[in-house]
Structure 1
Amino acid sequence: MSKERCAWVSEEPVYIAYHDKEWGNPVFGDDRYLFEMLTLEGAQAGLSWITILKRRENYRRAFDNFEPDVIADYSDEKIKALMQDEGIIRNRRKIESVIKNAKAFKQIQKEFGSFDHYVWGFVGREPIVNKWEKHEDVPAQTELSKQISKDLKKRGFSFVGPVICYSFMQAIGMINDHTANCFLSENKKDLRN
């Protein structure tokens, strides 16, 4: 018998793997991964998530495995090279935002000791577990995602609107939005393997 998943998951293997192994799982202490997810969520703006997931390895290659220290020092030549890279979304504003965000990310690390401490501080380091019945119940943004978006923008980030922030929160497990039917729902913990 196949496992039942959240309604947004298609039969694409990359989607299934992302849903089953990453989405909604709390990520602590891994700033590189947090930067990766923030970058990918920003890249997704106006596109489908599957479009980005299918290019994830290309993004890792193109953006030096999402190392903020390396990306913060990208030159104009590097931006030109990225604009020619067919493996990623070649949108200049999105590419430049990754560099801008890497610089802001480093500032947060300096101020808070890590981006992890900063972002998880918004929820007291405790994931929010929602009990949605169906996919349509899941919001696109919340007051908390608006608050985080506002704070990130104030700190110099771009492509971090409230909807992107909410998706980011789901991606890193700050929010668990697996719906009631899903085998990963908190209501069906006994079915996990």
Structure 2
Amino acid sequence: MSHELFFSYHDEEWGVPVHDDRLLFEMLNLEGAQAGLSWLTILKKRENYRAAFDNFDARKIAKYDAAKKESLLQNEGIVRNRLKVNAVVENAKAVLEVQREFGSFDRYIWQFVDGEPLRASDRQHAVAVSERMSKDLKKRGFRFVGATICYAFMQAVGMVNDHTADCFRAAMLAQ
């Protein structure tokens, strides 16, 4: 894991609490895209994903038709997997419903941790939360949101602080 993208992602983003609906939506979809692949693959394609998926604007993505989805499957800058491309579109529709119901995706997603990041020391609780989150997301029509993906998402957006105790980011994010 000595790639520069890993360093900058870890040092600047990973584990920092996110409360922006667009970025939360982006990260949920990128974590789903990563299923079966390396995170480095997704980090390398991240800007391509933003360009291909209208900067993860859920309103625009929810309107994608079959022709748009087919064109995405020809885009070498993203993971060209039909299920994963379709999942982003379905997730866009689902996130719009969540926003209508809860006022924001942020309010909905952070309810699973009562609005506060969980600590790495309570991993068993964090895993249980990811399982509950996964079940609820699936019930609402989200795709590629299994418990493992949800846990990685929780780590990425700061819902759980899984930096090791000796990591300089652990103390910074614990404040």
Alignment of 1:54-65 (within 5 A): 54-65=44-55
Alignment root-mean-square deviation, CA: 1.4
- Percent identity between the two aligned chains: 58
The residue type equivalent to 2:25 in the other structure is F
Deviation at 1:58, TM superposition (A): 0.4
8 Å contact 1:131–1:179 — kept in the other structure? no
Residues 45-67 of structure 1, C-alpha deviation per residue, up to 9 Å, x if partnerless? 01110110010000000000000
Tell whether 2:166 aligns with 1:176.
Answer: no
Extract unaligned runs of 5+ from structure 2. none
Give the match for residue 24 of structure 1.
Answer: 15
Distance 2:128 2:141 in 1: 20
Q: Which residue of 2, 17, 31 corresponds with 1:11?
A: 2
Higher-Rg member (1/2): 1
Distance 2:70 2:120 in 1: 43
Give the match for residue 82 of structure 2.
Answer: 92
Q: When the two structures are superposed, what TM-score results if normalisation uses the length of structure 1?
A: 0.85
Q: Which residue of 17, 24, 30 corresponds with 1:34?
A: 24
Q: When the two structures are superposed, what TM-score results if normalisation uses the length of structure 2?
A: 0.94
| Paired residue total | 171
Deviation at 1:181, TM superposition (A): 2.4
Q: Say which SS state the counterpart of residue 126 (structure 1) adopts.
A: coil
Alignment of 1:1-193 (within 5 A): 10-28=1-19, 30-131=20-121, 142-186=127-171, 189=172
The residue type equivalent to 2:41 in the other structure is T
Distance 2:15 2:84 in 1: 25
The residue type equivalent to 2:131 in the other structure is K
Extract unaligned runs of 5+ from structure 1. 1-9, 133-137
Distance 1:159 1:37 in 2: 12
Distance 1:100 1:87 in 2: 21
Distance 2:4 2:92 in 1: 30
Following superposition, which runs of at least 4 residues in structure 1 exceed 4 angstroms of deviation?
A: none
Distance 1:15 1:65 in 2: 21
8 Å contact 1:108–1:115 — kept in the other structure? yes
